[in-house]
Amino acid sequence: MSVPAITTSVGSFYLSRSHGNRAMPRFRMAVRSGAVSVTPILTNLQRDCATPLPVLRHVADAMAADMRAGLAIDGGSDLKMILSYVDSLPSGKERGLFYALDLGGTNFRVLRVQLGGKEERVIATEFEQVSIPQDLMFGTSEQLFDFIASGLAIFAQKEGGKFELQSGRTREIGFTFSFPVKQLSIDSGILIKWTKGFAVSGTAGKDVVACLNEAMERLGLEMRVSALVNDTVGTLAGARYWDDDVMVAVILGTGTNACYVERTDAIRKQQGQVSSSGKTIINTEWGAFSNGLPLSVYDREMDAASINPGEQIFEKTISGMYLGEIVRRVMLKMAEAGDLFGKSVPQKLFSPFILRTPDLCAMQQDASDDLQAVGSILYNVAGLESNLSTRKIVVEVCDTIVKRGGRLAGAGIVGILQKMEEDSRGLIFGKRTVVAMDGGLYENYPQYRRYLQEAVTELLGTEISRNVVIEHSKDGSGIGAALLAAANSKYAHDF
């Protein structure tokens, strides 16, 4: 059975919410000692979040410098620059049946793909998603991996039609595991800690591939993991399968990350690392970048109140999880200090993360004369009554935060390309170079996409930017993991 794909750890963004039903809001009265105009609040916000070309250039240069420092020594910069141990990228020659398992949240997804080599490429794909029971998120390692293995077994039993395992082969899996891992090889990695609401006992410090392989053995399921990858690396591999010019992959969704193809001789902290191709994929973990970012008081307050204050600052300025919350904090300030929403401030507006990035997107898409959709969203989400001038100010706030996010993301991409260009002596900007993008924020927010592209063009100039193709690669990480299982298969010599 095929079902719609779930998104990966850093790729989710859109959840449906109806704005049609107007429920009566609960009000919390805010007593103010004299209202002031909201204009200075908006002016200060726009000044603090401005991203003129010199700011973008500084961010791009700092990103490139932090990449080099992170490659020189562990802890050399904010960027972890993690080795993926992927030195065999999909070539198109791969043949046979391969599986992928994507574990990155409260669901896991299983996928199979039948590959037909250069001529037929992807013959067929099929996938299912399985919800993880709440109790297993707090259970033991053995319980969780036994449940995942049983889901794999049920999915494998439905194999048929165009899916056929060649005689004498064991089914191989690409395992997308989107939790903090210290990767040891292409098919092993130690779990550093669980995140995203998981508190499974007995896994931290263990090889997650071994945990899965042992669970499959307990079930008598003849499968083995041949590639352990993170979702961004999977996106690059999935896009590279179709286009040899793909050099970078970026996920912009609830969270964000980027990876790129690096020469092994440039990785000073891993001298002696052997690679048959002389290249590997580096997972930058760029959400931790923080150098020279234009931040407002609202960013600092949100960061201080977060579960990881002082960390993931780039992610907190450009990713889908946080854009709506920054806007909410600005609106709350305008409601309390100014007269934006009248004399009372609804209780809802005090709730962190009640305003989500899809709400910002919907408000920015409103082209009606009276901004009716904006008014409806403000009322239904936060209990706010608004007139046209109020709605215009809210849209202006949304645009300020989203413009900064998109332009900073564009500067980050240029920073990666700049570092690659300097090392390759002109082999990046002098030819077609593709950046594969995935994630709901990039896919579903047209203004964000436009601001990102504009920043890239401004930084590189019209001539060079023509060679840099920023391309959407929808749900590339799932099939990318299966393709990496194929590229690193023990049967690769048969292809």
Active-site annotation, residues: 196, 231
CA distance 58 to 290: 12
Tell me phi and psi for residue 224, to 5 degrees.
-145, 145
| Cα-based angle 369, 447, 231 (whole degrees, multiple of 5) | 145
CB atoms within 10 A of CB 424: 14
- Alpha carbons within 13 angstroms on the beta-carbon side of residue 493 total 1
Tell me phi and psi for residue 230, to 5 degrees.
-95, 165
Q: Find, among 285, 272, 234, 209, the residue nearest to 86 by Cα.
A: 234
Tell me phi and psi for residue 334, to 5 degrees.
-65, -35
Block residue for tokens 């042992």: 214
SS3 413: helix
Q: Which residues contact 56 (CB under 8 A, 6 or more apart)?
A: 407, 408, 410, 411, 414, 455, 458, 459
Q: Find, among 390, 404, 448, 419, the residue nearest to 316 by Cα.
A: 404
CA distance 231 to 105: 12
Q: Which residues contact 40 (CB under 8 A, 6 or more apart)?
A: none
| Cα-based angle 154, 100, 257 (whole degrees, multiple of 5) | 135
SS3 134: helix
Q: Find, among 470, 451, 457, 469, the residue nearest to 409 by Cα.
A: 451
SS3 439: coil
* DSSP conformation class of 480: H
